[in-house]
Amino acid sequence: MTLPRIHILALGGTIATRPDASGAMQMGLGADDLVAAVPLLAQLADIRAETVSRVGSHSLSFDQLHALAAKIKALDVDGVIVTQGTDTLEETGFLLDLLVERDIPVIVTAAMRNPALTSPDGPGNLLAAVRVACDPWVRAHAKALGVIAVMLDEVYAASDVLKIHPTRLNAFASPQTGPLAALVEDRVVPLSLPVRAPVEAARRRLGALTDIGREQPVALLWMALDEPGYLLEVLVDHRDQLGYRGIVLAAMGGGHVPERIAPLLTQLAEIVPVVVSPRAGGGPLLQQTYGGPSSEIALRKAGLIWGGRLNPLKARVLLETCLRAGLDRPAIVDVFDAWA
Ligand code: GLU
């Protein structure tokens, strides 16, 4: 029986750390080390391992991820597993989901507990990821699943998964949709298929993105009680100097901001695309319930782009990608409308 060819791409992160002389954990392990720690992998798959980088995911760049996406697109294999840090996995996975369309499983995984601790989770997560990549249901539905994250024996859609705790083992969840599958014993138990229409709509607009374009910095601004808007003032007054090409605004409730900053937002929306996203982390924004100068009705009329149910971190990834692809404002509105 030929085993599925699974290609592991190691980026770095806690899963790839080892202690230095002082005991501090440094990014030191490569893909071969990760594979060597789990001898069982060889019985499940024909494993190929490649070290792409040894950096923490907090320092990854959009450019590096575009290069990674190009690499994944070109691989002649039956499944791809990316190992990385957990800190930005909810963003990197979503970006790969936007960039890579393949009919093989593409999985991101990581570790919360480093290899020097008792019961590190990296080896178990890598084993689980390989099991998922080799599973017949996952392989048959690879396109419908899109890029997936495997953490602590659960499978999540990259477009929904969030990091919800900085240290504990069960740090990942998809609060809006729940997991797509669970691992029990050595089996993958399917639970649901994700709604892919918004990602597919975005992909259609983004096109092939063969040229990765230039970085398009997007600021993420969190709205909070009595926010005075000084940063917004600077963005309006120094529009040419700050370098931001777009803004994601994590708004209160169904899409609200403090009344005192509404005029500034109207000005800002004339300068750069400003996407409104739920500060609550997800769940569809309102469109037509509340009146008043800083309600969803007023902000939509003022030209702010409605991010729907997309988490602010993911909205930022999507806006950067749209801007890189050179989409104009109506096209960007279209892309975000699909998440309404
Ligand atoms: N901050 C590091 C990273 O994201 C370590 C965190 C982790 O992997 O859990 O790569």
| Euclidean distance between CA atoms 127 and 206, whole angstroms | 34
| Euclidean distance between CA atoms 336 and 73, whole angstroms | 25
pLDDT of residue 141: 98
pLDDT of residue 282: 92
| Euclidean distance between CA atoms 247 and 106, whole angstroms | 29
| Euclidean distance between CA atoms 127 and 309, whole angstroms | 32
| Euclidean distance between CA atoms 232 and 167, whole angstroms | 33
Please tell me the distance between residue 15's alpha carbon and the centre of ligand 1 in angstroms: 8
| Euclidean distance between CA atoms 211 and 103, whole angstroms | 22
pLDDT over threshold 90, residue 235: yes
Contacts of 257 (CB under 8 A, 6+ apart): 223, 227, 249, 251, 265, 294, 299
Within 6 A (CB) of ligand 1 lie 12-14, 56-58, 85-87, 110, 112
Decide if domain 208-337 falls under CATH 3.40.50.40: yes
pLDDT of residue 210: 67
Summarised one tens digit per residue, pLDDT across range 74-106 is: 999 999 999 999 999 999 999 999 999 999 999
Which amino acid makes up residue 42? A
Considering only CA atoms, which of 175, 118, 122 is closest in space to residue 150?
Answer: 122
| Euclidean distance between CA atoms 148 and 49, whole angstroms | 19
Please tell me the distance between residue 111's alpha carbon and the centre of ligand 1 in angstroms: 8
Please tell me the distance between residue 89's alpha carbon and the centre of ligand 1 in angstroms: 9
pLDDT over threshold 80, residue 124: yes
Q: Which helix (H) or strand (E) holds 17?
A: strand 17-19
Considering only CA atoms, which of 70, 105, 108, 67 is closest in space to residue 91?
Answer: 108
Domain boundaries, the chain: 5-195, 208-337
Summarised one tens digit per residue, pLDDT across range 256-304 is: 999 999 999 999 999 999 999 999 999 899 999 999 999 999 999 999 9
Summarised one tens digit per residue, pLDDT across range 163-222 is: 999 999 999 999 999 999 999 999 999 999 999 999 999 999 998 666 778 999 999 999
| Euclidean distance between CA atoms 90 and 166, whole angstroms | 13
Q: Which CATH number does the domain 5-195 belong to among 3.90.110.10, 3.40.630.30, 3.40.109.10, 3.40.50.1170?
A: 3.40.50.1170
- 241 pLDDT band, cuts 50/70/90, is confident
The residue whose CB lies within 8 Å of the most ligand 1 atoms, and thus the one to mutate among 14, 52, 172, is 14
Same fold across 5-195 and 208-337: yes
Which ligand 1 atom is the nearest neighbour of the CA of 87? 4
Q: Which helix (H) or strand (E) holds 5?
A: strand 5-10
Active site residue 14: yes
